Chain A
Amino acid sequence: MGRVLSIIGSRIIQLVIMVLVLSFITFLLMKLTPGDPIRAILKVDDMVSTTADEERLKKEYGFDQPIFVQYGRWIWGVVQFDLGESIIAKRPVLDMIMSRLPATIALTIGGMVVLFLLSVPLGIVGAVYEGRWPDYLSRWIAMLGASIPSFWLGLLLIYVFSLKLNLLPVMGKGTMAHFILPSITLGVAMAPIYIRLLRERLISTLQSSYIEAAKARGLRKERILLFHALRGSLIPLVTMFGLSIGSLLGGITVIEILFSWPGMGELIVNSVMQRDYPVIQGYILIVGFLVVVSNLLVDLMYLMINPQIKQGKEVG
Chain B
Amino acid sequence: MESTVFSKTSRLLRNPNMSIGVLIATLLTVIVFLGGAIIPHDPFHVDMGNRLQGSSSVHWLGTDQLGRDVFSRLVYGAKLTIGLGMFAIFMAICIGVPIGLVSGYIGGRVDAFFMRIIDGILAFPDFILAIAIAGMLGPSLSNIVIAIVLVRWIVYARVVRGLVLAEKEKDYVLVSKVSHSSSFKTIRVHLLPQVMPDIIAMAAIDVGKVILLISAFSYIGLGAQPPIPEWGAMLNDGRGYFQVVPSLMIYPGLAIMLTVLCCNLLGDGLKSYFDIRKGRDYV
Our verdict on whether A and B bind, yes or no, reads: yes
Nearest 5 pairs of A and B residues by beta carbon: A250-B127, A246-B125, A152-B253, A272-B135, A29-B136
B111 within 8 A of A: no
**B216 touching A149, Cβ below 8 Å:** yes
User: Smallest Cβ distance from A284 to chain B, in angstroms?
Assistant: 5
A21 within 8 A of B: yes
B139 within 8 A of A: yes
With known contacts A147-B261, A152-B256, A155-B249, A253–B127 Cβ distance under 8 A: yes
B202 within 8 A of A: no
Other A-B pairs beyond A147-B257, A159-B243, 10, CB < 8 Å: A17-B116, A29-B137, A143-B17, A143-B265, A147-B264, A149-B232, A151-B232, A163-B243, A246-B123, A287-B125
Main secondary structure of the interface of A (DSSP, over half): helix
Q: In B77-136, which residues have CB < 8 Å from any A CB?
A: 116-117, 119-121, 123-129, 131-136
Contacts of A150 in B (CB 8 A): 216
**A18 touching B136, Cβ below 8 Å:** no
B36 within 8 A of A: no
Q: In this complex, what residue of A is CB-closest to B136?
A: A29
User: Smallest Cβ distance from A223 to chain B, in angstroms?
Assistant: 27
B208 within 8 A of A: yes
A268 within 8 A of B: yes
Say which residue of B123, B131, B220, B249 sits within 8 Å of A14 (CB atoms): B123
Contacts of B261 in A (CB 8 A): 143-144, 147
A254 within 8 A of B: yes
B246 within 8 A of A: yes
Q: In this complex, what residue of B is CB-closest to A25?
A: B133
Q: Report the contact-size class of chain A (Cβ under 8 Å from the partner).
A: 35 or more
User: Smallest Cβ distance from A147 to chain B, in angstroms?
Assistant: 4
Docked complex Cα distance between A14 and B235 (Å): 39
Docked complex Cα distance between A273 and B120 (Å): 27
A271 within 8 A of B: yes
Docked complex Cα distance between A151 and B124 (Å): 22
Q: 20 A-B Cβ contacts within 8 A?
A: A14-B119, A14-B123, A18-B121, A25-B133, A146-B260, A147-B264, A149-B257, A151-B216, A151-B220, A246-B123, A246-B124, A246-B125, A253-B127, A258-B219, A268-B135, A269-B221, A272-B135, A273-B222, A291-B124, A295-B123
With known contacts A151-B235, A155-B235, A269–B128 Cβ distance under 8 A: no
With known contacts A149-B215, A156-B249, A159-B249, A22–B129 Cβ distance under 8 A: yes
**A288 touching B135, Cβ below 8 Å:** no
Number of cross-chain contacts by CB at 8 Å: 147
Q: In A176-215, which residues have CB < 8 Å from any B CB?
A: none
B212 within 8 A of A: yes
Docked complex Cα distance between A291 and B128 (Å): 12
Q: In B195-249, which residues have CB < 8 Å from any A CB?
A: 208, 212, 215-216, 219-222, 232, 235, 242-243, 246, 249
Say which residue of A18, A144, A146 sits within 8 Å of B124 (CB atoms): A18
Docked complex Cα distance between A271 and B138 (Å): 11
Docked complex Cα distance between A247 and B209 (Å): 13
Q: Which residues of A contact B (CB under 8 A)?
A: 14, 17-18, 21-22, 25-26, 29-30, 32-33, 36, 143-144, 146-152, 155-156, 159, 163, 246-251, 253-254, 257-258, 268-269, 271-273, 275, 277, 280, 283-284, 287-288, 291-292, 295
**B126 touching A26, Cβ below 8 Å:** no
**B123 touching A271, Cβ below 8 Å:** no
Q: In this complex, what residue of B is CB-closest to A153?
A: B253
**B125 touching A249, Cβ below 8 Å:** yes
User: Smallest Cβ distance from B113 to chain A, in angstroms?
Assistant: 11
Contacts of B121 in A (CB 8 A): 18, 21-22
**A18 touching B123, Cβ below 8 Å:** yes
Contacts of B253 in A (CB 8 A): 148-149, 152, 155-156
Most chain B CB neighbours (cut-off 10 Å) among A18, A249, A258? A18
**A271 touching B265, Cβ below 8 Å:** no
Docked complex Cα distance between A258 and B17 (Å): 32
Q: In this complex, what residue of B is CB-closest to A18?
A: B120
Say which residue of A144, A247, A257 sits within 8 Å of B125 (CB atoms): A247
Q: In B123-174, which residues have CB < 8 Å from any A CB?
A: 123-129, 131-139
User: Smallest Cβ distance from A281 to chain B, in angstroms?
Assistant: 8
User: Smallest Cβ distance from B22 to chain A, in angstroms?
Assistant: 15
